[in-house]
Every structure is written in structure tokens, then in C-alpha cells.
Amino acid sequence: MNFGAPVRARRVVVFAPYPEAALGGAGVGKDESARPVAIRAWDRRDAWRRPSREEIADFYDTVGNALTTGGGMTLALNMAARMSRSPMMRGIIGALHDMIVHGEDLHVAMRQFPRVFTPMQLAMVEAAAATGLDKAGGLLGTLALRLQKDGKIWRRFIHALAYPVSLLVLTVAGAIVLEIWALPPMVELFHTLGGTLPPLTRWFYAVAQFLRVNGFILLPTVGGAIALALVAAPRVLQTRTAQWLTTRLYLVGPIIQWMALVRALGTFILLKQSGAKVKDQFVMAAAAAGNCVVGDFFDACYGRIALGESVEEAFTAERHRLRDDGIRLAGKMEVGMAGADISALINRIVEELNDRAENRLNLLPNALRWPLLIVCCALIGTVALAIVLPYPNLIADVAHQQTQMMR
């Protein structure tokens, strides 16, 4: 065996703001050297893709593990760059590496990328840095675990809604096809034979004619409206009205509130364990919730704590803001008032909420199936009825004409 064989070259695409960041984002090992090469056309394909929640969680996990085992911050970032999957994330880590080398703190460097690292994460990293590298590694590992669990639940939530939404879209598309291509020929045949059309068929035929005549205008307009809605949806969902309404949705609302409460409580306990200021604990927990209902709960709780109340008393006094979830949370916090470990208690609450969200997600597809099937059958059935309904009248007219001829 040839143990002296050179290391095989590897190609890494890094989307970085400047050359030094690109070099740091390549994640060069001790036995490697880096040199720039020409960019291929397909290398640009994923260059603008933003890092996913899972990739950000992997970043914290890698950095946390490296710090826990005694590695320095530069070594931790170098390992994180090697583990990254997207060109943009490699470039961001390379920029962090370069700023750390030049004396910046990690949380200060991370503030240069607000679209990737949230205020809660920045506060967590800043608080962790004050505890020392060994403890910071454990806290960042816990943060990574929280992000991974949150991402897992969101993926399951999207997958649970994918089937109902797909079925509804296909049903609407099928109804439009029947409306435009199947109904008009039948109506024209009935007009030729002198048949009488029922009101339902006449109405659908008028709609079909309108769609056929104005299709070249309607299709781009509807497509543009859908694209605009998809682009505007994130901003619309961030409004207080939309956030309040989403927590009131049938079946889905409780899941959204549970996930928001999990994020808020998880952030609160992480910041509490890292020694962050009490105000930062509540402010960042409210921001991490991503929902005004849960956020207002934590803001109101901090208002009471600022007046001298304990955490347990504040949670109990503001329980009405979360409805049933607030009552259960207050009941759990009463144990804390009796002297239990608040951190362990809140962690158990978070795990319980995670379990409830996952159980509801398991039931969600089956719970939506029958109402959705009824809607789809009603839609397709109405169009089919409009097509079939004239036939009895036509048969009666033909029978009547034959009877007259026989006489």
C-alpha cells in the first residue's frame, strides 16, 4: 500500500463577498491547499440559494461539537465550512472565519448576515460567548437540536398539507377541463337538435364561453396573481392579523400555536441557561415565537416581572392569552412555584408540546380527507350534472317527436 499518495483534489463552489471569505469557506484541511479555478456554468445554479434551517442547525452543531472537544473558534468554523452543503453558506462561514481571524467576536460577525441568523440566535451566541468556549459548545449544540426539531415539525406540517392542497388543485383543474372542453360541444349539439337546456347547464355554458373567449387574458392574469400571492405570502403571514387568524384555523391552528410556543419556550430556557439578561430572555423568546399571540404573552409576562413578580406568577397571571395552552402551562408552572427546577420543568413542557404537535400532524391528513373529498366531489359532480342534466329533456323531446310522427 502506498501511504504517501497525495490527497485527491476536490472541487468546492463558494459564493462569497470577497476572495478571503471564499478561501475560508473552502474549508481547507491541514493536508490541503486551495487555488481558484474557473467557474462552470452549472456552478452558478445553486449559488443564490439561501441556507436552509437544517443547514443552519448543522452549522451550530458542528461549531458546538468542535468547541466542546477543545478546538478553537477558527478550527470550528473551518470544520463547519467543510460540512456545509450550499455555496452561500460556505461563503458566509468563510466571511465569519476571516472576521474572527481579524479579532471580531462571533456574534458581532454574524450580525453582518441578518437574513441568515435571527436576533434570537445572535443573542444566544452572544450569551454563550460570555460563558466560555467549553460551555458555549454545549449551548450551541442544544440550539442546533432545537432548530432541527423545529425544522422536522415544519416539514411534517408541510407534507401533511401537501396531499389535501394537491387534491384540491387537481380537482379544480379537472373541473375547468370539463367546463371548457366537454360542456360546449354537448350544448351546441342540444341547440342543433332543438333541446331545452336547464338553468344550471346554461349558467355553466355561459361561464365556459367566457373562459374560452378571454382565456388568453385570464391565464396570464391568474398566473401573475398566483405568483404575486406566493411572493407576498411571507409578508402577509407576518402581519398580526394573519398570525392571529392562523391560530384560530380548524385543526391547523393549535399546531401553529404549539410550534410557536415550543420555539418561544425553547429560546427562553436556552437564554436562561446561558446567563442572558432577563429582558433579553423574554424579548428574544417573543421574537422567536414568530406569532403575535405567543409573543404578546411573553411581552406581558416580562411587564409583570419588571414590576417584581416571579416567572411562575407572571405565567399564571397571563395564561388567558394562550387559551387552553395557557391554562395547562400555568398548571405546570404551579409546580415551579413549589420549588421545582424551572429549567427542567420548561424542558418537559417543550417536549410535551412537541409530542402533541406530532400526534396532531399524524391525524391531520385523515381529519382533512373527508371534508376535502366532499368539496371535490361536489365541485366535479356539479359540472358533471350540468353536462348530464339536459339528456332527460332531450330524450323526452325525441320521444315526443317520434310519437307525433307515428300519429
**Angle at CA of residue 382, ends 381 and 385, nearest 5°:** 85
Q: For residue 276, how many other CB atoms are within 10 A of its CB?
A: 22
224-230 average pLDDT score: 82
Mean pLDDT of the chain: 79
Model confidence pLDDT, tens digit, residues 292-315: 899 999 999 999 999 988 888 888
In this prediction, residue 299 carries a pLDDT of 92
Q: What pLDDT is attached to residue 296?
A: 93
Which grid coordinates belong to 180? 371548457
Bigger pLDDT: 28 or 194? 28
Is 50 exceeded by the pLDDT of residue 1?
Answer: no
pLDDT band, residue 400 (cuts 50/70/90):
low
Q: What is the pLDDT of residue 224?
A: 86
State pLDDT tens for residues 150-160: 777 777 777 77
Which of 7-21, 68-82, 384-398 is modeled with the greatest confidence?
68-82
pLDDT range class, residue 63, cuts 50, 70, 90: confident
- CA separation for the pair 25, 80 (Å, rounded): 9
Q: Which of 183-187, 240-244, 363-367, 401-405 has the lowest mean pLDDT?
A: 401-405
Q: Judge whether residue 347 has pLDDT over 60.
A: yes
For residues 68 and 141, the answer to whether their CB atoms sit within 8 Å is: yes
What's the pLDDT at 406? 66
Mean pLDDT of 365-377: 80
Segment 396-401 shows an average pLDDT of 63
Whole-number pLDDT of residue 300: 92
> What does the pLDDT average to over 380-398?
74
State mean pLDDT over 367-389: 81
Amino acid (1-letter code) at residue 200: L
> What local confidence, expressed as pLDDT, does residue 304 receive?
92
| Of residues 57, 59, 73, the one with CA closest to residue 134 | 73
- The structural domains of the chain, with segments of one domain joined by +, span 19-117, 149-407
Region of poorest pLDDT, from 122-126, 253-257, 338-342: 338-342
User: What pLDDT does residue 5 have?
Assistant: 53
* 2 has a pLDDT exceeding 50: no
* pLDDT reported for residue 31: 63
What integer pLDDT is reported at residue 401 of this predicted model? 63
